[in-house]
Amino acid sequence: MGDKVRIANQKPLARLEVDWTVHPRLARTMHRPAAVIHAIWAAWLRTSVWTRSILVATTVYGVVFSILTALRVYALDAQAYDLGIYHQSMYTTVFNQRFFFNTIDLPSNPSGSVFGVHFSPILLLLLIPYALVPSPLTLTVLQTWAIALAALPLYALGRRVLHSERIAFVLGVVYLLHPATQGVNWYDFHPEAFLPLAVLTGLYFFERREWTVFLVSMALALSTIEAASFLVAALALGFLLSSVWSLKKLHNSVDSKETRALLFLLGLASVWLVLGRAVELALNPRNPYEIRTSLESPGVPGTGVCLVPRDCSMSRFGSLRIRSTRSQR
């Protein structure tokens, strides 16, 4: 019994029956990862069962959907809209010195830059992992883990606000199992898939009153897509109105740091919306928001070329049906 206690109290490498004095360099090399693993395992044992459960659920979701979305690509079930657009845009930026250029949207976006359609600066951050592994699977895996990891700040936020780890765990699992969450994950790649992680992280640090991290998280949320400006501005305005109501009804004191942070965020969201629209119009003066969709105008104007045969056939069928109805009258 005494030997077992002595062995358990030894450092990880000391338990191995090896004369490490003969190989000091090998001992130092192996001790570092062993010590890290030992520290991680000790921290894991100190956490609650619900925290461990949400970590396991997040990991399982990330692994399963990374595999499923990869199989979808290999099964040739992925589409040019939108995985093809972002894959080609990232590839041309890294290897052809073209600014997020793609050929898929050329009929409605003459510049070819994806920034002429959506203002998504977060793509600049994604260039780093994409340059290391230039593959569409890199995009789908990054998207999967961004969606999965959003369950962690949601769990932390629920635990802090609701004072219940069990309910917080249920919220995180419901988020991971929700069809809308999995639908976003399943359908190709979109930068706005990073929005839940950024927003939920920001809300968590808002509750902790850590304003620098809160603003950085919300700035990352803004960088996903130009439409995020409306969401971020609505959150900032809602929190400001809540502070005013708390001041008038509950006679609570006003947190000056909170007010300054929210006013700054509201101004940032407004400026970001104008900046994003200006960049889009600079790269694509044709204003894609006013161009008809492929269902309304399936061919390239003035060319007679059909982009989507199914849509063209349906359009012709509809025109024939309208003519036949008029002829009967």
- Residue 81 binned pLDDT confidence (cut-offs 50, 70, 90): confident
pLDDT in tens, 217-265: 999 999 999 999 999 999 999 999 988 877 766 666 677 889 999 999 9
pLDDT at 46 over 50: yes
For residue 94, pLDDT beyond 60: yes
pLDDT of 318 higher than 50:
no
Q: Which of 185, 278, 264 has the alpha carbon at shortest distance from 232?
A: 264
Mean pLDDT value across residues 56-67? 97
Average of per-residue pLDDT values in the chain:
82
The residue ranking higher by pLDDT, 46 or 271, is 271
Looking up tokens 């947190």 gives: 255
The domains of the chain are located at 1-46, 47-292
What percent of the chain is modeled with pLDDT above 90?
Answer: 61
Residues 273-285: what's their mean pLDDT?
Answer: 93
Q: Would you place residue 321 in the very low, low, confident or very high pLDDT band (cuts 50, 70, 90)? A: very low
Cα distance between residue 254 and residue 235, in whole Å: 18
Measured distance CA(152)–CA(216) in Å, rounded: 18
pTM recorded for the entire structure = 0.76
Measured CA distances, 303 to 107, 223, 286, 298 (Å):
11, 36, 18, 11
State the pLDDT at residue 45: 79
Mean pLDDT of 60-66: 98
- Which is more confidently placed, 71 or 35? 71
pLDDT for the residue numbered 34: 75
- State residue 198's pLDDT score: 98
* Chain segment 181-214, per-residue pLDDT in tens: 999 999 999 999 999 999 999 999 999 999 999 9
Q: Residue 61 above 50 pLDDT?
A: yes
Gyration radius (Cα) of the chain, Å: 27
CB atoms within 10 A of CB 185: 24
Quote the pLDDT of residue 266: 96
| 31, pLDDT greater than 50 | yes
pLDDT above 50 (res 300)? no
Of the chain, the end-to-end C-alpha distance in Å amounts to: 101
22 or 106, which is more confident: 106
pLDDT digits (tens, 9 = 90+) for 208-220: 999 999 999 999 9
SS3 sequence of 227-271: CHHHHHHHHHHHHHHHHHHHHHHCCCCCCHHHHHHHHHHHHHHHH
Lowest mean pLDDT among 79-83, 221-225, 248-252, 273-277: 248-252
pLDDT at 302 over 50: no
Question: Are the C-beta atoms of residues 154 and 130 closer than 8 Å to each other?
Answer: no
CB 123 within 8 A of CB 143: no
